[in-house]
A and B are shown apart, each in its own frame.
Chain A
Amino acid sequence: MPGRIMIVDDAAFMRMMLKDILVKNGYEVVAEASNGKEAVLKYEETKPDLVTMDITMPEMDGISAVKEIRKKDPQARIIMCSAMGQQAMVVDAIQAGARDFVVKPFKPDRVVEAIKKVLGN
């Protein structure tokens, strides 16, 4: 299944790693953003099939970004990238409309599983 994905994370390293995983599994990374604001802008520009969204970021955090994006596109599919111990924030994000989440440190097959399931919906 083709998938155009946007990666949102303030750490370049994380973006790189995620990109590797995604590309290796046949997905196309159409955009990268390093904070929430940028993410909202680039979402409108590129209209990706799916977004991986970090939670803690400068300018605008991941949860607010989810809200903004879903406001503009209620069908937006977003997977949260959470660190251990961010349970409450993940719950907030789900309430805001995120479809699923993965927990750092990433296990490649988990990331792919989550993406597949969300896109398969």
Chain B
Amino acid sequence: MVEGFDLGRYIGVFLEEVEEHIGNLEENLVQLERDPENQGLVQSIFRSFHTVKGSSSSMGFQRMMELAHLMENLLDGVRNKNIVVTPSLIDVLLRGVDLLKNIKDAVALEGKEPEIDIQDIVENLKVFLKRREESQSPLETPLVSERKDDSVPGEEAAISPSQKEYLVRVYLALECSMKGVRSYLVINRLQENKVEIVSTTPPLSDLESERFGQSFEIVIRTFLSEEEIRKMVESVAEVERVEIEMREETLEVREEEKEEKQMISTAEQKKTAKSLKKTVRVDVDRLDALLNLVGELVIDRARLGDTIQRLREFKELSHLRDLLADTNTHIGRIINELQMEIMKARMLPLAEVFNRFPRMVRDIARNSGKEVDFIVQGEETELDRSLLEEITDPLIHLLRNAVDHGIESREERISRGKSPRGKVLLKAYQEENSVVIMVQDDGRGLDTGKIRSKALRLGLVSQEELDKMSDREVMEFIFYPGFSTNDQVTSVSGRGVGMDIVRRNMERVNGQVSIESEEGKGTTFYLRLPLTLAIIRALLVKVDGGIYSIPLADVVEIEKVKKENTYWVNKTLTALFRGRVLSLLRLKDLLQSKKAEYFEGETVPEVLYTVVVNAARTMAGLVVDEIIGEQEIVIKSLGSYIGDVRGLSGATILGDGRVSLIVDVPSLLWKNFQMGG
């Protein structure tokens, strides 16, 4: 009947909580460095260490507990103004947090604490604690005892028998079942003995629904002594340990003040209870399956629409047709909503990714001896979770480059008349159906002169072509594979490192990257991402009898170009589009990997139906046979047996049941470009 100790039941919650605390710690420590006087931050950091200490000791993870304990003590010193916040203190604390994270990761993998050596960092932490001890007068409490002390409350009580406020921390036995009722029993026991409950952490509602780990805290107010309280709480079964701390403010509070306080605390409790939304964990696969089903619905609706169109021929059925059309519109609206809801369920706030960056930027800046203010905005913007994974690496690249190469050294900045601290801004916002993420630095900017000469040297362009290119277009060269990885272009800031990968990652998810840069002023990268991957709006065109879908994201405009408005430039056919010279390319030939330009001497039709596209740093006019219209399409992969077809990104099923291939514009243009177009 005796069950073995089942670690598995708690380890999930434990790891989740610790991870959350580690995330908060990183963020708050970095912030503390900038704002050392912020007591709220100090408190919150202290609490995180404290909680990690408590739960890791409950789980029996000694190293983790020791680390957290030491750091908690350090923070206690900061709180009492015995330890000063310095960058080196933050360094050590961050390293400690790293170690916590390593241990946590290992626990997650192996289910037990790894044999990591923590002595090094422990010594480091102790150095800071020592300093604190030395700075203290000998009369003050030694740092080892965490609680203020045990004797004072009794003495004080003897002097004035006033109510005192205590923080009671109750640790439940590990295999304790019905923790909720257990905590209720503890609180009930206290109340029975006329102990006033001020507040609980977590709030009562969470205690009741067992949303807490192995321990919880109660703030109480009472005439009773610490010992009496301890006995009372320990008389409840499955209470393993009780820690009692006297609160700073010994309370001889007047009634109204007390009431006020209580009101605040209950109001706060209510607020937290309200903000805790009810959630259900769902497997991502299930959401994918749902989205797929909605995709099928979209296709069926298109078929229905098609059938309704065909009913036009039967005049006598016109009112039935109208009814059907109404219903179809309604179904369409519902499908849209359904699709939006499922998409939302798949969305996660960018904070998931952004949160780790302050720490990273700080480390890079410190390593390169630069001073950088890192500002994050719009982290609440949401994005499909699969996209979130795709943008992480690109963002790391961009931020690293911004600090490493974009921001100048302090001296250089001063000599240029800039503020000595550099600024890096990471900002996200939604714009129509896409999310834009901006990485901006106020550093030296891109040196287009150097990019030009490099592009020429690498043979990417001819001098003639280069002369026609604007600075904006020239900047696009940094996205070429291996463009500026060598040190000769250091003043271009080596931004080529991984830039092609950034672009490739973006294009893989139908996203785009663009740059704006001004020499001496700074550089801004824009990552533009679709909200979802599965359903897109596309332009349907007819080419050689087949229907193709061109993602609307790539389409700039549709033009009917008359033959007399075309020109021969460099022996190929071009047209003017808003003042820009545009090459006209036959989509049919592009798809077959043939030369797609019209060469001088070829017959050109009287009217060219042209889809102006902008992708892969090229603008071009795709000539098609017929333009059918715009439609929402569901992307279906071509399947593994066909594999990765260059120029096509998938297929979709149209209303009439026909299959339409989806054109991958960037790769088509890129291919044509490589063929020497």
A120 touches B237 (CB 8 A): no
One of B2, B178, B235 near A120 (C-beta < 8 A): B235
B157 within 8 A of A: no
Q: A17-B1, A94-B185, A107-B1 are in contact. Are A87 and B237 (CB under 8 A)?
A: no
Contact A107 B2 (CB under 8 A): yes
**Interface residue? A52 (CB, 8 A):** no
Contact with B181, one of A94, A110, A120, A121 (Cβ below 8 angstroms): A94
Please indicate the chain A residues that have their CB under 8 angstroms from the CB of B1 in the complex: 17, 105-108
Looking at chain A's contact residues, the main secondary structure is helix
CB of B178 within 8 A of CB of A110, answer no
B57 at interface (Cβ–Cβ under 8 A)?
Answer: no
B235 touches A107 (CB 8 A): no
> CB within 8 A of A100: which of B3, B175, B236?
B236
B238 touches which one: A105, A113, A121 (CB < 8 A)? A113
Complex Cα spacing A80 to B237, Å: 12
Contact A90 B178 (CB under 8 A): yes
A57 interface hit (Cβ, 8 Å): no
Residue B305, interface by CB 8 Å: no
- Max chain B CB contacts within 10 Å: which of A82, A87, A108? A87
Is the pair A105, B3 in contact by a Cβ cutoff of 8 Å? yes
Chain B window 607-630, contacts with chain A (Cβ cutoff 8 Å), 1 for yes, 0 for no: 000000000000000000000000
Taking a contact as CB atoms under 8 Å apart, the answer to whether B188 and A84 are in contact is no
Closest B residue to A105 using CB positions:
B1
Taking the complex as formed, is A43 at the interface, i.e. its CB lies under 8 A from any CB of chain B? no
Contacting residues, chain B, for A106 (C-beta < 8 A): 1
Number of interface residues of A (CB under 8 A): 24
Give the chain A neighbours of B329 by CB distance below 8 A: none
Query: Which residue of the partner chain B has the closest CB to A107?
Result: B2
Count CB-based A-B contacts (< 8 Å): 51
The verdict on A87 contacting B235 (CB below 8 Å), with A17-B1, A107-B1 known, is no
Instruction: Kindly provide the distance from the CB of A96 to the nearest chain B CB, expressed in whole angstroms.
Output: 12
CB distance from B280 to the nearest CB of A (A): 19
- Kindly provide the distance from the CB of A93 to the nearest chain B CB, expressed in whole angstroms: 10
Question: CB-nearest residue of chain A relative to B232?
Answer: A121
Residues of B contacting A84 in the complex (Cβ-Cβ under 8 angstroms): 177-178
Q: Cβ of A53 < 8 Å from any Cβ of B?
A: no
Flag whether B184 is at the interface (Cβ < 8 A). yes
B180 within 8 A of A: yes
- Chain B CB within 8 A of A117 CB: yes
In the bound complex, how far is the Cα of B185 from the Cα of A121, in angstroms?
15
Tell me, yes or no, whether A60 is within 8 Å of chain B by CB. no
Tell me whether A91 is interfacial, beta carbon within 8 Å.
yes
Q: Which of A86-121 contact B (CB under 8 A)?
A: 87, 90-91, 94-95, 100-103, 105-110, 113-114, 117-118, 120-121
Q: What B residues does A82 contact at CB under 8 A? A: 178
Q: In angstroms, how far is the closest chain B Cβ from the Cβ of A113?
A: 5
| Chain A residues positioned under 8 Å from B175 (CB to CB) | 107
Q: Which of A17, A87, A118, A120 is in CB contact (< 8 Å) with B180?
A: A87
8 A Cβ contacts from B125-184 to A: 173, 175, 177-178, 180-181, 184
Q: What is the CB-to-nearest-CB distance from A49 to chain B, in angstroms, rounded to a whole number?
A: 15
Question: With A17-B1, A94-B188, A105-B3 in contact, do A114 and B237 touch (Cβ < 8 Å)?
Answer: yes
In the complex the two chains form, is B3's CB within 8 Å of A107's CB?
A: yes
Q: CB < 8 Å: which of A91, A108, A118 contacts B235?
A: A118
A100-B236, A117-B234, A120-B235 known; 4 new pairs, CB 8 Å cut-off, are A101-B181, A107-B2, A107-B3, A114-B238
Ranked 10 nearest A-B pairs via Cβ: A114-B237, A103-B177, A90-B181, A100-B237, A117-B235, A87-B181, A121-B235, A117-B237, A107-B2, A113-B237
Chain A interface (Cβ < 8 Å from any Cβ of B): 17, 82, 84, 87, 90-91, 94-95, 100-103, 105-110, 113-114, 117-118, 120-121
16 residue pairs from A and B, CB less than 8 Å apart: A84-B177, A87-B181, A90-B178, A100-B185, A101-B178, A101-B185, A105-B1, A105-B3, A107-B2, A110-B238, A113-B237, A114-B238, A117-B234, A118-B237, A120-B235, A121-B235
